[in-house]
Amino acid sequence: MQYRLEADGLRSLSVLPVTLFHAAFEAFAGGLVGVDVFFVISGSLITPIILAESAARQFPLPQLTNGALGLNLCRESCCVSD
């Protein structure tokens, strides 16, 4: 798959409203929409890669699952509860 500069640009722009939302700017009260935009663009980029690797039987599902699990455990251990 060819590198998509415009997709990376849109993903980086989608982070801006989220950042401004967390900075408590009232004009960006719906800033979390940027998270949805980021994931939709990321999904559209990664899906063809996953499908091609799955068809070629080269998709590393165990490594992907272990990586996601490790990331989530790390994230949960770093969070402070109320």
Listed by start position, the domains of the chain span 5-78
CB 28 within 8 Å of CB 20: yes
Whether 41 contacts 4, CB under 8 Å: no
pLDDT digits (tens, 9 = 90+) for 56-70: 887 776 766 665 666
pLDDT at residue 49 in the model:
80
Residue 38 has pLDDT above 60, yes or no: yes
What average pLDDT does this structure show over 72-80? Answer: 60
What does the pLDDT read at residue 78? 62
The DSSP code sequence of 31-53 is: TTHHHHHHHHHHHHHHHHHHHHH
Does the global pTM surpass 0.75?
no
The pLDDT of residue 21 is: 87
